[in-house]
A and B are shown apart, each in its own frame.
Chain A
Amino acid sequence: MDNPLTLDPLFQLGPVPITAPVLVTWGLIVLIGGGAYFATRHLTLRPGKIQTLLELFVTTIDGQLRDTLNRDPAPYRALIGTVFLFVLLANWCSLIPGIEPPTAHIETDAALALVVFAATLGYGVATRGLRGYLATFAEPSWVMIPLNIIEQITRTFSLIVRLFGNIMSGVFVVGIVLSLAGLFVPIPLMALELLTGAVQAYIFAVLATVFIGAAVGERPKRNLSSQEVSKP
């Protein structure tokens, strides 16, 4: 059985060893970047099929962001949307024979989670200012400072391990069943993997949103719902 925690380099690029997940990631970057470039060349007021799909995607992400953050989603749309799309496509890479999802290796997940971590710090500092953001670590009292710092680290770590564990275990189970049972038996498991991949991409994006939301702070007041208005 292959060791899921180590990687063998495919070839060397100068001093840098290049592994299979890195290659797949480059392919995804080209796919997403090129797809986004070519799909947005001819935007019109009366959208065609591709533009309708794109608009549906962006509107859905905007709606989710607005529901979670209660803010204007524009500053966060690009990051969260790209993270979601990347993780989703990376998880679904296993549909193509011979390609393993790059998210089944802990390095890719660590990179993604570090992006989210840096974005959390960046948006927090940008919204509250450096002093204001550092002050949030001392809430509700200064006793909580070590715990709050530990929380930042552990939640980033759990973001890494959650994605890694889910996707890697799926790849692993399919591999084991394939070696035990034969060619077509793991197909239901692979279908389950598609569902897991989609759910994990969604959860990764939602958690990134929640972390950023916690960093940028107090939500502006919700519109009063009918129940609250009717109260005396």
Chain B
Amino acid sequence: MTGNLIEIVSILAAAIAVSFGAIGPALAEGRAVAAAMDAIARQPEAAGTLSRTLFVGLAMIETMAIYTLVIALLVLFANPFV
């Protein structure tokens, strides 16, 4: 029964981790893309540099969400307590 309880809690923890962990990066990526759009609209000739920097920045932000995904996978598949 205890193992079963731990499995239930692990699945809940994984779901909560991914769902809440996605909020921050989603908002941040929205802001970053909006700012980049604004900058490209003002200065279209800088679009190349801007989009390269934007991609790298988005990757950095996205990493936070990926971290939660990895934590969720660890909890689901490599849980040390099951």
Contacts and interface: CB of A to CB of B under 8 A. Distances in A.
B67 A161 contact: yes
A199 B69 contact: no
B70 A203 contact: no
A210 interface: yes
A124 B72 CA distance: 36
B41 interface: no
Interface residues of B, number: 16
Interface SS of chain B: helix, strand, loop or mixed?
Answer: helix
Contacts of A203: 55-56, 59
A199 B52 CA distance: 11
A226 to B, nearest CB: 11
Contacts of A207: 56, 59
Interface string B50-80: 0010011001001100110110011001100
B32 to A, nearest CB: 14
B66 A5 contact: no
Contact of A3 (B48, B52, B69, B77): B77
B49 interface: yes
B73 A5 contact: yes
A67 interface: yes
A200 B62 CA distance: 11
A33 interface: no
Given A67-B52, A199-B55, A203-B59, A4 B66 contact: no
A5 B74 contact: yes
